[in-house]
A and B are shown apart, each in its own frame.
Chain A
Amino acid sequence: EVQLVQSGAEVKKPGESLKISCKGSGYSFTSYWIGWVRQMPGKGLEWMGIINPGDSDTRYSPSFQGQVTISADKSISTAYLQWSSLKASDTAMYYCARRYTAMGIVWFDPWGQGTLVTVSS
């Protein structure tokens, strides 16, 4: 079964750093890009960025460029999303999703279960 399993919920203080993870299984991890999506409380989905685990080529949405870092460790089939200094406004649910591509096909599936990040003093 193809699946993405994300790390557990986090509670942090403003200014702290954080790295959350997304582990892929059931497929060749380096063959498909992994994207990250933010969902603030009660709000819609926002595209943050995407990484090719094979060569670490990364593309960020302008809104998130410089605010987060996306990385991957292909040796353990895991993608990461990290912050160097959290703000209260980073409180949100974060999802990872695999971008499947084939001849004339692009879709995002599966999705991870989500990681809730709460930043509060």
Chain B
Amino acid sequence: DIVMTQTPLSSPVTLGQPASISCRSSQSLVHSDGNTYLSWLQQRPGQPPRLLIYKISNRFSGVPDRISGGGAVTDFTLKISRVEAEDVGVYYCMQPTQFPYTFGQGTKLEIK
């Protein structure tokens, strides 16, 4: 199985300041079709997960442009340029490149 490792596991951030989460995979996430399928999900307290980013850097519908994704092969990053109160929650990276699909452990974003 591909192991997804996120850092940090907890991120206290001041409102208006940037935040960054790293995700590293134990194997390349480049699919045989040449694409890299790495997604980021947000889970707010008491809510189901919500898709934020797919295919490394593509924002899903309704996701604000202060949230961005980047990286390649085995190293990926989620960035929030200016943290707002609505960003509080747990963020997960996920790879739907190879069965079994796997998630990172989650990074809890909280306001300082």
Interchain nearest-CB distance for A57 vs B (Å) = 11
Query: Given the complex, which residues of A lie within 8 Å of B50, measured CB to CB?
Result: 111
A62 & B48 in contact (Cβ 8 Å cutoff) = no
Partner of A59, one of B39, B97, B99, B105: B99
When distances are taken between beta carbons in the complex, the residues of chain B under 8 Å from A105 are 54-55
Are B92 and A47 in contact (CB-based, < 8 A)?
no
Query: A53 contacts the other chain (Cβ, under 8 Å)?
Result: no
A104 near B48: Cβ-Cβ < 8 Å: no
Question: Per a CB cutoff under 8 Å, which of B35, B37, B60, B103 touches A45?
Answer: B103
**Would you call the interface of chain B mostly helix, strand, loop, or mixed?**
loop
Q: Does B69 contact A (CB under 8 A)?
A: no
Question: Please, which residue of chain B has its CB at the minimum distance from the CB of A49?
Answer: B100
| Chain A interface residue bracket vs B | 20 to 34
- The interface on chain B, measured as residues whose beta carbon lies within 8 A of the other chain's beta carbons, has a size of 27
A107 vs B60: C-alpha distance when bound (angstroms): 9
- Chain B's closest residue to A93 (CB) is B48
Give, as a whole number of angstroms, the nearest-CB distance from A114 to chain B: 5
By a CB distance below 8 angstroms, the chain A residues around B103 are 44-47
Q: Which A31-61 residues have a C-beta within 8 angstroms of B?
A: 35, 37, 44-47, 49-50, 59-61
CA distance A36 to B41 in the complex (A): 15
Inter-chain contacts of A50 with B (CB < 8 A): 99, 101
Contact (Cβ within 8 A) B102 A47: yes
Q: Please tell me if the beta carbons of B106 and A108 are within 8 angstroms of each other in the complex.
A: no
Residue of A nearest to B107 (CB): A44
